[in-house]
Amino acid sequence: MTALLKIIWIGKGINEKGYLVKNKKKELVVQIDKTYYRPLEIDYLKGDPRKALKIFKYKNKYNLKDLVKDMMDSDISLAQKNI
């Protein structure tokens, strides 16, 4: 029969830690590391499809103008249905 393992959480926020309880002993298994925090405000995001184009031979189905037109057509259609 497999023994059930239990993790207990102690602390709050950045100080919260997870301990595995085995045979009435606690072993630290999860701890927060600020190194892996992502900034809340990102001023500039930019995608670059060159790698996908090169490695996967990816081809765009839409250019930006066609994509915006398709999105606007869809929004207009939904708005007309809700009138």
Q: Is residue 41 part of a domain?
A: no
What pTM does this model have? 0.42
Q: Would residue 37 count as lying in a domain?
A: no
Percentage of residues of the chain with pLDDT beyond 90 = 42
pLDDT the model gives residue 2: 59
Is there a domain that residue 1 lies in? no
For residue 54, tell me if it sits in a domain. yes
**pLDDT (0 to 100) of residue 12:** 94
Whether residue 15 is contained in a domain is answered as yes
Mean of pLDDT values over 54-58: 87
Q: Taking all residues of the chain, what is their mean pLDDT, rounded to a whole number?
A: 87
Which residues constitute the domain of residue 22?
6-32
Query: How many CA atoms lie within 13 Å of 62's alpha carbon, on the beta-carbon side?
Result: 8
Instruction: Tell me if 76 is assigned to some domain.
Output: yes
Query: In angstroms, what CA-CA distances link 46 with 42, 49, 56, 63?
Result: 11, 10, 20, 16
Residue 43 lies in a domain: no
Q: Which of the listed ranges 3-7, 12-16, 55-59 does the model predict with the highest average pLDDT?
A: 12-16
